[in-house]
Amino acid sequence: MDSIRLKSYAKVNLGLEVLGRRDDGYHEVRTVLQTVSLHDKITIKLQGEGIKIRCNSPWVPCNEKNLAYKAAAVLLKMSKAKCGVKITIKKNIPIGAGLGGGSSNAAATLLALNQLLDLNLSAEELEEIGREIGTDVPFFLTGGMALACGRGDELRFFTKTPCFWGLVIYPNFSVSTSWAYDNVELPKNPSNHIEKLIQAAEEGDVKELAANLQNRFEGIIFQKYPVLAAMKKTLRAKGALGGSLCGSGSSVFGIFDDKEGAERALFHFSDSGYSTWIVRSCAND
């Protein structure tokens, strides 16, 4: 076998709290992450020399700036393989949308090359490599639902989680993650919404999960981009049980009772010019 095809899933943040800046320059966060069915398609093939990336999106860097490239470089060096790799990315997850597409692509690359190169790295070893590539990469190696702390790479996965339908809306512009972290308003008092999310997840209560969606970035992001606040408001008005910003933006998502509810809300946005996806909460294949 010299090639593997994988789905590379997007994520949403069900809750996201930014607690302060760490000594290493990163921010301390607590966030509940969930993979959803929106995905890129990744083909990893051993061939020739070096690392080549092909992508259908002109906005994706096809060089060492790409996180999948970095993942391939690390494992090729570890394996001392006398071959290169071609990574083909069919992009569906938008760039700079807070959906984790780049990190997800890197995780898919690690999983594929671990198998193709017969490295037999353990899950823990892959997570450690992933941390050096991007803080969300370890999460995407497993997927599903997890509480992420520290830089976002200290993970506790949930074994029992509620399934839900959602609608993701991308306004066709991105938000700078570094700007968002530099300007986020840190909490003066601790919030317990993360604990409420965890309880709702463990009890399989979708309505309670949706009622406790919260994202610390919404204050500063909605102030700068009021259209995103309007998108969230409209989602709620059209039947969403709850809505939230994805990561530091720019996507917004809502959770619905069922697929039909998400489809009715989607119809309202059909003439908006935004990119929209009905999604289902999921785990990796």
The residues annotated as belonging to the active site are 11, 136
DSSP 253-264: EEEESSHHHHHH
Q: Is 102 annotated as a binding residue?
A: yes
Q: Tokens 């992933």 — which residue?
A: 130
Strands (DSSP E) found in 103-258: 145-149, 154-157, 165-170, 214-215, 242-245, 252-256
Q: Is 97 annotated as a binding residue?
A: yes
Q: Which amino acid is at 221?
A: I
Contact 106, 130 (CB under 8 A): yes
Q: Is 98 annotated as a binding residue?
A: yes
Q: Is 134 annotated as a binding residue?
A: no
Q: Helix (H, G, I), strand (E, B), or coil: what is residue 48? A: coil
Exposed, middle or buried: residue 131 (CB in 10 Å: 0-12, 13-18, 19+)?
Answer: middle
Output the CA angle 217-17-133, nearest 5 degrees. 85
Q: Is 103 annotated as a binding residue?
A: yes
β-bridge mates for residue 29, sequence order:
18
Q: Is 219 annotated as a binding residue?
A: no
Q: Between β-strands 165-170 and 214-215, what pairing exists: parallel, antiparallel or unpaired?
A: unpaired
Phi and psi of 237, rounded to 5°? -65, -25
Report which of 12, 13, 11, 15 is spatially closest to residue 194, judged by C-alpha positions.
Answer: 15
Q: Helix (H, G, I), strand (E, B), or coil: what is residue 179? A: helix
The binding site for ATP comprises: 94-104
Q: Which residues are annotated as a binding site?
A: 94-104
